[in-house]
Structure 1
């Protein structure tokens, strides 16, 4: 049996509603974890709270862009393929590519984009995703663990005190 403690009014606090809200909490926490680990939202502010807030807001904007990219991958290649992508590899690629795009693509090429509808932006992103080589951004697959080597020295004893080894008491 699961019991929920909530501050929602009793008429709005059905078990299904509270469970759905709690499930969403983990989604938000996963987002904040991704922001912190991959997109680098934790800035060393040296005591300047406005800088920390600005850094966090920039990371949230980057997170929205990243979510859009993942949605384009899901739309073009399916949910399973999107789940195989590494957050780290995609973020690293974006970080590397933006510098080159700033040099190679003239500013005029970006001017029409803010006026696009959501459908036009989606079609453009999906056309890019059709050409993407997603195997470059797959999560690393862990190989099998190596077995722990058998103990050869002091094999009959469960514990060997380091201090006694140093003092020469145990050999």
Structure 2
């Protein structure tokens, strides 16, 4: 690969049972990379935007919830794109948490709907694409990135090996049950 993936790998091995007539190796590799973009999207939808409801009794409600989460993802992606244009793609990808951004959008939206009248939003409706992108860049420049800093987990520490104490030996329940069976079976 020209660019390493997020784990730093430049080579990946893909096994497939597709015949060459259907797809060659380059096409399969390109599709595989796109797949991971979709996997990441669905992870963000599931974890940050709560796109899955627990009940299976209302499939229309589940579909509606998923669609609302997709719309929310578009809002989140727009905010991230504005931040990337101001601060750089690498900084945003490495340091900014989509969870904290989604949480901020959710909380701020409630307040904006109370404090700002619907007439105030019309200015955005009449903007050209260039005007809107400049406005978003300006607003992105005002964002304090440390508020949305990722908190990656530390690597898992290996579990300490259990030590055997002669004063408190471990007794296997399996062995005790087998001994009881043998005692009960002998006349």
CA distance in 1, matches of 2:40, 2:152: 21
Match of 1:39 in 2: 49
**Correspondences of 1:90-109 after superposition (within 5 Å):** 90-109=101-120
Secondary structure at the aligned position of 1:140 is classed as coil
Deviates more, 1:41-50 or 1:63-72: 41-50
Match of 1:168 in 2: none
The CA RMSD measured in Å over matched residues stands at 3.0
Unaligned runs of 5+ in 2: 1-12, 175-187
CA contact (8 A) 2:52 2:62 kept: yes
CA distance in 2, matches of 1:62, 1:127: 21
Unaligned runs of 5+ in 1: 165-171
Among 145, 151, 156, the alignment partner of 1:134 is 145
**Correspondences of 1:68-79 after superposition (within 5 Å):** 68-79=78-89
Task: Give TM-score, length-normalised by structure 2.
Answer: 0.73
Q: 1:48 to 1:142 in 2, by over 3 A?
A: closer
Instruction: Name the larger-Rg structure.
Output: 2
Q: 2:17 matched to 1:5?
A: yes
Match of 1:115 in 2: 126
Task: Give TM-score, length-normalised by structure 1.
Answer: 0.79
Kindly tell me the number of residue pairs found equivalent between the two proteins: 161
Match of 1:161 in 2: 171
CA distance in 2, matches of 1:31, 1:127: 26
CA contact (8 A) 2:96 2:150 kept: yes
Deviation at 1:20, TM superposition (A): 0.3
Match of 1:56 in 2: 66
CA distance in 1, matches of 2:92, 2:27: 29
Deviates more, 1:141-150 or 1:109-118: 141-150
Q: 1:151 to 1:85 in 2, by over 3 A?
A: same
